Structure 1
């Protein structure tokens, strides 16, 4: 049962990190847009998410939305709540990475005949991604642990499964120790991967020497 719970936790983490990683890009661009009709809704979304706890967002989606006719399965509600939360936070990471790229690179690309869309995809985004890789890796680890909050919408992920088993047999020390070991077995390798990504990112951002240097 615990391994099944770990599988659900891993599935939640994988799905949410991909969805949030993709959705955070247009949110970041909307917040950087000079058009207020784009910027204001994105600002409102990010500030509301950041100003309210994740557990409240999950409860609202699963328990409050049915009162207006929107009913979701527990797993779907968990995915939506976690994705919205991490989209808001990761959009700020993307925004800082994009803002860190010198404006001259964008101007040089445009002067060479590249359109704004192609300039962003080929010049700005790859460099910004290298800058934000370490932060995104840390969010991956945080998300893996935050999936435990999905238990409030009755998703039987690893932590909730441990609670159910412990409540049945009262072997709290054994069950929660095994649960902690399973979290560590996935979380620690993820942390090592993030370290490698940080090292790769720092090397790729170092200016290359010229041949005559």
Structure 2
């Protein structure tokens, strides 16, 4: 079918459809990652809480979501919740489903980075009578952030690639757009190759940005010439 179209209009059509799908993929990635960061920090702090009830609730959250398939969770949110009069849009379903799934893993990254800060720092905060929130924001987090940033950056890239699952709940993301183009034009090898290149083109800048931010955060550790 593709051979029946003039080369330039066909290229513009394919490029336009893939660009629209890529925009949806990036939108889901940004919104879901925002949810991941908020929930990961919250759950990590609950895991480190002195109150047993909070620790148990956070542990249950992590274990349940790590044991559930992200795809099945998306199906449950999109197809089962309406049976209980709770209806989510495809975009909200994708953001919430992926955000919750990845926040369970992200919380362990954040927790381990916070625990990595030496006990001496915490003792000093208590000795100086720092409010817990101020101590966390100004002393603990700045030291933990360089430790948690590389694995969180890898998780961000993985989240972006996992957004392909939302194509199964009617969202026209990059994967769904590629499938539609194959249905319309054929040429599976060409279309899927372009989709692969699009995912790489979106993932590589994310990796570079995370590395640059990590380098900026750890600049003080490098010896000055």
TM-score under structure 2 length normalisation: 0.86
Q: Which position in structure 1 is the counterpart of 2:78?
A: 62
1:177-204 alpha-carbon deviations (Å, 9 max, x no partner): 1111111111122223333345445555
Do structure 1's residue 133 and structure 2's residue 149 form an aligned pair? Answer: yes
Segments of structure 2 that go 5 or more residues without pairing to the other structure are 1-16
In structure 2, how many angstroms separate the alpha carbons of the residues matched to 1:129 and 1:191? 16
Do structure 1's residue 172 and structure 2's residue 168 form an aligned pair? Answer: no
The number of residue pairs the alignment matches comes to 208
8 Å contact kept, 1:166–1:175: yes
Q: Which position in structure 1 is the counterpart of 2:176?
A: 160
What is the CA distance between 1:63 and its match in structure 2? 0.9
Do structure 1's residue 106 and structure 2's residue 122 form an aligned pair? Answer: yes
Alignment of 1:32-43 (within 5 A): 32-43=48-59
Deviation larger for 167-176 or 50-59: 167-176
Q: Larger C-alpha radius of gyration, 1 or 2?
A: 2
In structure 1, how many angstroms separate the alpha carbons of the residues matched to 2:125 and 2:50? 20
Q: Which position in structure 1 is the counterpart of 2:18?
A: 2
Segments of structure 1 that go 5 or more residues without pairing to the other structure are none
Q: CA RMSD in A?
A: 1.7
1:97-121 alpha-carbon deviations (Å, 9 max, x no partner): 0000011101112212311221111
In structure 1, how many angstroms separate the alpha carbons of the residues matched to 2:145 and 2:73? 28
